[in-house]
A = this chain, B = another copy of it.
Amino acid sequence: MKAGLDKQKIIEIAANMADEKGITNVTLKVLANELGIKSPSLYKHFSGGLDELNKELMLYGWCSLESEITRVAIGKAKDDAIFAICHAYRNFVSNHKGLFEAMQWYNMYQSKEHLKATQGSISVLFQVLEAYGLTEKQKVHSVRMLRAFLQGFADIESHGGYGNPTSLDDTFDFAIKTILNGICDLQGGEEV
């Protein structure tokens, strides 16, 4: 009678569903159906209901992204590492549109958990930036800028928001180069 599900498994299946149908179409009913159970049964795994499921998807997404980012950065330094991380981020989003939505969604207003979840990925960027000899503040500015660009670009791209036929790959690389130049200029420059 028991389906032998565990929380992690459910989260992964929900994440796949989100990638296929979009996060708003991951309803408890549809998810339960996919799992071969009835929706109220999901409350045995997620007592907080849909809200908790979304939170878990958010956490799962950020963990996955962090793994991916960490993986591609291994053995690379400076610009090479930044490039690798940026491309990994972009690929991640293109392969996980639904999960990416969840990563930005959960209790957007005032969520400490969201802040914590993003830390892992952010800190990978920070580590790479160590090699550039920047001040703490300069590192913060650089990471923030990178992060803003990556999120904005991925968001717009994944929703088909860039209407122009010009190569998005080229735009992406141009942008990263530009940001890296900005970071370079900080070295030895005046305090910002």
* Chain A residues packing against B (C-beta within 8 Å): 22, 104, 108-111, 114-115, 118-119, 136-137, 140-141, 144-145, 147-153, 155-156, 159-164, 166, 168, 170-171, 174-175, 177-179, 181-182, 185, 192
Contact = CB atoms under 8 A, between A and B. Distances in A.
A175 to B, nearest CB: 4
7 contacts: A22-B108, A108-B159, A140-B164, A150-B152, A151-B151, A151-B156, A178-B179
Contacts of A109: 22, 159-160
From A150, A162, A185, residue with most partner B Cβ within 10 Å: A162
B192 A182 contact: no
Given A151-B152, A174-B182, 13 more contacts: A22-B109, A114-B161, A141-B170, A144-B153, A144-B171, A145-B153, A147-B156, A149-B152, A151-B156, A152-B152, A152-B155, A178-B178, A178-B182
A23 to B, nearest CB: 10
- Chain A's interface: helix, strand, loop or mixed, by majority? helix
A104 B155 contact: yes
A166 B145 contact: no
